[in-house]
Amino acid sequence: MHSGRSVFGGLVLALACSGGNGGGGATGTYAAVNGDPITLTFKSGGKFEMTASGPGSSSGTYTTDGEKLIVSVDGQTHTFIRDGNCIEEPRHIFGKLCKGGKSGEAANVSTRNVPTTPTGTWVASTADGEFRLEFRPGNTLALSMTPPGGQPDTKTGTFIVEGDAIHVTLEQGVPMVLKFVNEAYESTSFGFPMKFVGQ
């Protein structure tokens, strides 16, 4: 449960004016489902307004990337994931908001197709090389890292699935978190963004 004041303060910071274009299917008014009197209204053209009882309102801009609503301010980026008529910030800083608030959450129909049992091979290509994930039976996997012009280094590990997130433990206890969004697995666990695409 968030207090109205702390959530409002975070939203003011996250949703201050920033450049960019937005729109798409994100438009509409989303209300907090946990009772906080906060609403976000996403308008066409990438503009939004936030209102909260007491402190008042604020306005800014946003962009979209598939299932993502991305807000940037002061060099920081905050991302909400859309699922039907609800949005949620994966780090749970802002709580969950839905069109229609709590009743909207109860009536929401998911638009996301998240694998409950990940399978196959997924590859991320970055400036640091190629990263190849191979999901294996028994909640095990292998992660091969191949630097540019180098040889692959493969680590094995185990994983558990929690909703749209996969929590991986590699050899020697190295943790990794993968988030399924826009039909790919994303991670920043190693300090830089990786997007694993199914092969």
pLDDT > 90 in the chain, percent: 44
Of 78, 83, 109, nearest to 97 (Cα)?
Answer: 83
Collapsing DSSP states into helix, strand and coil, what is residue 47?
Answer: strand
38-42, 147-151, 175-179: range with lowest mean pLDDT: 38-42
124, amino acid identity: A
pTM exceeds 0.75 for this model:
no
* Phi (first) and psi of residue 172, to 5 degrees: 65, 25
Is the pLDDT score of 1 beyond 80? Answer: no
Q: For the chain, list the domains and their CATH numbers.
A: 4-107 (2.40.128.290), 120-198 (2.40.128.280)
